[in-house]
Amino acid sequence: MVRDEEETRGGGGHVKKIGIADTTFARYDMYGSARDELEAIGTGFTIERYTVPGIKDLAIACQRLIKGGCDIVLALGMPGPEPIDKQCADQASRAILDVEIKHDVHILEVFVHEDECSSDKDLALLADRRAREHAVNAYDLLFRREKLQRAAGTGQREGHDDAGSLRR
């Protein structure tokens, strides 16, 4: 993730609302990480949370956060490691995309797959880091889109080391 001086701040009065949807299925408090990171980056926004049982319930949680006035939403989830879990994650992702397009509000899907790491400790660290880095993305989309533009094509990887640009 590129971190940068702040640029376009919401300033000028209108306070934004950031929604965070999370699940009881997840094995890490990704909400805590995202909220902590957002509060460290800046001000000009409030946070609203909606907790559901599993990832398939995230799409409607996002929709309700949007209907409640959120300007952007983070959808936090930790799909299991089995093939059927990948199928469920796929369904959840598509429904989240449907809600995003229907309401024309950005929803950043922040999924950590249980089979991305071999130890619980690494998985917890990944969940924390990915939630934090996507929280920065949410902030950037809301307040300083030019920062994302400058990072275009640079191989950013949320939760892992960045891949970097290709050399020709």
Region 79-138 residues binding a second copy, contact defined as CB under 8 A: 84, 86-91, 93-95, 97-102, 104-106, 108-109, 113, 120-121, 123-125, 127-128, 134, 137
10-29 positions binding a second copy, by CB under 8 A: 22-29
Find the binder of a second copy among 8, 9, 32, 40 (CB under 8 A).
32
Find the binder of a second copy among 6, 41, 47, 64 (CB under 8 A).
64
- 167 lines the binding site for a second copy (CB under 8 A): yes
Interface with a second copy (CB under 8 A), residue total: 73
Provide the minimum distance between the beta carbon of 162 and a second copy in the complex, in angstroms, as a whole number.
9
Provide the minimum distance between the beta carbon of 95 and a second copy in the complex, in angstroms, as a whole number.
4
3-state secondary structure the chain: CCCCCCCCCCCCCCCEEEEEEEECCCCCCHHHHHHHHHHHHCCCEEEEEEEECCHHHHHHHHHHHHHCCCCEEEEEECCCCCHHHHHHHHHHHHHHHHHHHHHCCCEEEEECCHHHCCCHHHHHHHHHHHHHHHHHHHHHHHHCHHHHHHCCCCCCCCCCCCCCCCCC
Which residue, 15 or 163, is less far from a second copy as judged by CB? Answer: 163
